[in-house]
């Protein structure tokens, strides 16, 4: 996708603790990539971090956008009718993703204060996520206590004495969701990362722990950065990471929240 700095957004989020959790608590109804995109624009323009909404959304809530305020850009799908060589519509459609200037922060509006329940952060349930993703959690059967967990096929296994079992679970879920386990069996040790797949999986774990405000972020950052020595996360990798984290987060949320 052109003009969307996914890689730089991810690098900034990993380098600066608190960005993802702040963005998620305010913008959890949007994709993770859009959460960070909104955060970065507000930071760059000196806009206080606050929830965002469209012109109509704020109007429905009894607020109005202040005169002269510049809209925030988010990535949105656009449906396009396919045409033949003669320029006639074929009846088929396809989607492209593009930046749209449709959103304004709470601080860019004026009027009555919004109800506090607008800021509620959804919870995440392990059982619901496993079921939705079609993944099972098996019994740890390795003798090596340094191995925090591993993934094979559609099964993940977490060491019962893992330092951060939640972080390891997100990491292993990411291996499955990202398709790593279709290529080969993965065994993870906190001390010996060897493949770029570990960067993707641990970046997903970092995002999940950040959004849900769970411990292990310091260790996760170090793990990611140790893998990135001499290399970097490109936009394609960042898009895969955001997509996988989105899928895992949505799978574990209560659909009624």
Each of the 257 residues of the chain gets a pLDDT tens digit; together they read: 445 566 777 777 777 767 666 666 667 678 888 888 888 898 889 988 777 888 988 888 788 999 999 999 998 888 888 888 877 888 887 878 888 999 998 889 988 765 544 444 567 899 999 999 999 999 888 766 678 999 999 999 998 888 899 999 999 999 999 998 886 555 565 433 456 788 899 999 998 998 888 888 888 888 887 777 767 778 788 888 988 999 999 999 875 44
Q: List, in sequence order, every residue forming a beta bridge with 155; answer none if it has no partner.
A: 136, 152
Element (H, E) at 150: strand 147-152
Confidence (pLDDT) at 125: 93
Confidence (pLDDT) at 117: 40
Confidence (pLDDT) at 121: 53
Confidence (pLDDT) at 196: 76
Confidence (pLDDT) at 213: 85
Cα distance between residue 254 and residue 156, in whole Å? 22
Confidence (pLDDT) at 195: 61
Q: To 10 degrees, the CA torsion angle through 177, 182, 186, 192?
A: -80
Looking at residue 161, the DSSP 8-state letter turns out to be T
Confidence (pLDDT) at 1: 47
**What length is written for the chain?**
257
Confidence (pLDDT) at 108: 92
Confidence (pLDDT) at 90: 82
Helices then strands, each counted (H, E), the chain: 10, 9
Backbone angles phi, psi at 182, to 5 degrees: -75, -20
In the Cβ-directed half-sphere of 60, how many Cα atoms lie within 13 Å? 6
Element (H, E) at 97: strand 89-105
* 37 contacts 9 by C-beta, under 8 angstroms: yes
Confidence (pLDDT) at 150: 92
* 233 contacts 11 by C-beta, under 8 angstroms: yes
Strands 186-189 and 89-105 come out as unpaired
DSSP three-state, residue 75: strand
Confidence (pLDDT) at 2: 47
């Amino acid at each position: 996708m052109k003009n969307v700095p996914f890689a730089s957004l991810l690098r900034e989020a990993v380098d600066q603790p608190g960005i993802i959790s702040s963005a998620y608590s305010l913008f959890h109804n949007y994709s993770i990539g859009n959460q960070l995109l909104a955060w970065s624009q507000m930071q760059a323009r000196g806009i206080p971090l606050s929830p965002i909404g469209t012109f109509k959304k704020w109007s429905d809530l009894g607020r109005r956008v202040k005169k002269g305020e510049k809209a925030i850009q988010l990535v949105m799908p656009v449906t396009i009718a396919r045409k033949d060589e003669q320029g006639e519509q074929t009846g088929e459609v396809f989607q492209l993703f593009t930046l749209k200037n449709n959103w304004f922060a709470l601080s860019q509006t004026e009027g009555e204060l919004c109800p506090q329940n607008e800021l509620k952060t959804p919870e995440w349930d392990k059982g619901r996520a496993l079921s939705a993703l079609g993944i099972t959690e098996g019994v740890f059967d390795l003798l090596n206590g340094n191995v925090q967990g591993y993934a094979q096929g559609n099964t993940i296994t977490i060491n019962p004495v893992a330092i951060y079992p939640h972080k390891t679970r997100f990491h292993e879920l990411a291996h499955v969701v990202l398709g790593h386990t279709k290529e080969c069996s993965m065994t993870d040790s906190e001390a010996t990362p060897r493949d770029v797949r570990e960067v993707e999986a641990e970046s997903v774990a970092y995002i999940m722990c950040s959004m849900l405000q769970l411990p292990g972020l310091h260790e996760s950052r170090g793990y990611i950065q140790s893998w990135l020595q001499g290399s970097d996360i490109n936009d394609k990798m960042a898009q895969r990471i955001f997509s996988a984290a989105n899928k895992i987060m949505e799978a574990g949320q209560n659909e009624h929240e």
